Amino acid sequence: MAYAIVETSGTQLCVEPGRFYDVNRVFAEVDETVTLDRVLLVRDGETIDIGAPTLEGATVTAKVLRHFRGRKIIVYKMRPKKKTRKKQGHRQELTRLVIESITYGGKTVAAE
């Protein structure tokens, strides 16, 4: 089983080829290929390579499936005994990516 830990949009994800992930909005068009080059760790079978902080020459290729908004989160602030209440909603802008391949050290692990 091959996987990589990448940093994108301010979060770290453990990604595998052929699976899709929802990340904060990536500024790319739908069906466009995106290269994630901040790879922190790569595991290919038995070997594990850890970067300090990132691996040089390691890339993860992903394809943008769609852009959408996440579920609504309610933010409610209240100060007791002061009669102040503030209710606010938030929906995060997200992008769904499907991982096509992980490349490191001349080896490429692609989706089946």
Render pLDDT for 37-94 as a digit per residue (tens, 0 to 9).
999 999 988 889 998 999 999 999 999 999 999 999 999 999 999 999 999 999 999 9
CA-to-CA separations, 112 to 60, 100, 101, 106, 109, in angstroms, rounded: 15, 9, 10, 19, 9
Q: Indicate whether this model's pTM tops 0.75.
A: yes
Apex CA 96: angle with CA 62 and CA 49, to 5°?
A: 40
List, in sequence order, the alpha helices (H) in 1-112: none
3-state secondary structure of 25: coil
How far apart are the C-alpha atoms of 25 and 32, rounded to whole Å?
A: 14
Q: Mind listing the pLDDT tens digit for each residue in 5-15?
A: 999 988 999 99
Sign of the CA dihedral 95, 96, 100, 103? positive
Which SS3 state, helix, strand or coil, does residue 41 take?
Answer: strand
